[in-house]
Amino acid sequence: MLYRKIGRTGYEASILSMGCMRLPMLEQENPPKDFIERQRAVNEEKALELIEYAIEHGINYFDSAYMYHAGNSELILGKAIKGKRDKLIITTKSPVMMMQKHEDFDRILDEQLKRLDTDHLDFYLLHGLVKETWEKAKALKVFDFLDRIQRDGRVKNAGFSFHDKLDVFRDIIDAYPWAACQIQYNYFDENYQAGKEGLKYATSKGIGVIVMEPLRGGRFTKRIPDAVQRIWDTAEIKRSPAEWGLRWVANHPDVSVILSGMTTMEQLKENIGIADEFKPESLTQKELGIIDRVVKAYKDIMAVGCTTCNYCMPCPNGVNIPMIFSLYNDVVMFKDEMPVIMYNTMVPPDQNATNCIECGECEDKCPQHIEIISNLKDAHRALYNEEWKPGPR
């Protein structure tokens, strides 16, 4: 296993690390309709086997969050690391979106420490920051909280995970002496959200960069379009789509950690087996050219040519146009159910496509001249599914 330093912290993490958002699930004859309830049903025995195997084969960085598997992710990770804690790097996340008052930060952190059965976290990240949650965190005096938990030893290093535009990322980076940040980064999303510029900006400040979604939630490994597979087949060295995706991320020397949400032992063994090749700047120009052709092939089958430039925003009626088109494209390109789940559970009802009043303001602003109104209708038809809507809390 290869290891890289996490920014200026002195920590060295396995380049291949384990995200605990996609642990193996129990097979249920009649699974609950509610998404949150379904997420609780982790196959604990298989999950513990996965984590134990990962530790035995050199993976030392594990990432969880308060809401993963409705809390079961942290509980299971806590059981898995018992007796091994000192040699591992444990990260989890503060659910900023749930906070109502400053005291909630401490209350939830203490709950997480109890779940994980540890007295400290190596890294603690503010979870999923976007402009709105960032402003909320500041209003709740999050800096006082971060300073306090690092002084009292409950947390060794503070950071954040991110899902917004580059200018918001820069603002957050500049606001606090962060140790690490977590961004979405893969060969298709090189210029999405924080992207390549954000990666460079963070490392220029000595901040470690943890990459999530290196395989776009596994979409690069399932249901490969024929046009894409034909391009992979032209490579002199044959690799699986998973290896191509992971090696592209590892090729960037500024990346500290690559998180992979490995659900099966087969996936875990495959990734560990190729991890010794995850060296910076090890792909040839010809191989990088093949990956560029794959990106173009995926873009050719996108449903909407949206570049998420956000010129269409804000919508006067609150529709989250770029997010909806991103999820719609994922459904079309990867034929995966996760975008449907996200549309029905994570996009607030007042931001979904049915709120379009067809004013046309967005179409006037769109530099790609996309027929946004009609495409929003198509997107809603492709994404909306009553079954995935969460039940009452």
Ranking 13-17, 69-73, 154-158, 247-251 by mean pLDDT, the lowest is: 69-73
Band of residue 392 on the pLDDT scale cut at 50, 70, 90 = very low
Residue 64 in this model has a pLDDT that exceeds 60? yes
Q: Are 236 and 334 in the same domain?
A: no
355 and 319 in contact (C-beta within 8 Å)?
yes
pTM over 0.85: no
Strands 16-19 and 61-63, by their bridges, are: parallel
Interval 37-64 mean pLDDT: 92
| Average pLDDT for the chain | 91
The answer as to whether 137 is a domain residue is: yes
What 3-state class would DSSP assign to 132? helix
Residue 134 in this model has a pLDDT that exceeds 90? yes
Instruction: State the pLDDT at residue 393.
Output: 32
Instruction: Decide which of 240, 275, 291 is a domain's last residue.
Output: 291
Q: Are 130 and 262 in the same domain?
A: yes
Q: Are 287 and 337 in the same domain?
A: no
* CATH number assigned to the domain comprising residue 238: 3.20.20.100
Nearest CA to 133 among 106, 104, 170, 172? Answer: 172
Instruction: State the pLDDT at residue 35.
Output: 59
Domain residues for 262?
A: 3-291
pLDDT digits (tens, 9 = 90+) for 159-205: 999 988 899 999 999 999 999 999 999 999 899 889 999 999 999 99
Q: Are 105 and 225 in the same domain?
A: yes
* 189: alpha, beta or left? (left if phi > 0; alpha if psi -120 to 50): alpha
Q: Are 247 and 372 in the same domain?
A: no
The sign of the CA dihedral 146, 77, 336, 291 is positive
Angstrom distance (rounded) from CA 126 to CA 137 = 9
The answer as to whether 298 is a domain residue is: no
Q: Are 254 and 335 in the same domain?
A: no
The answer as to whether 172 is a domain residue is: yes
Q: Are 276 and 358 in the same domain?
A: no
pLDDT digits (tens, 9 = 90+) for 318-337: 999 988 998 998 888 877 78
The answer as to whether 279 is a domain residue is: yes
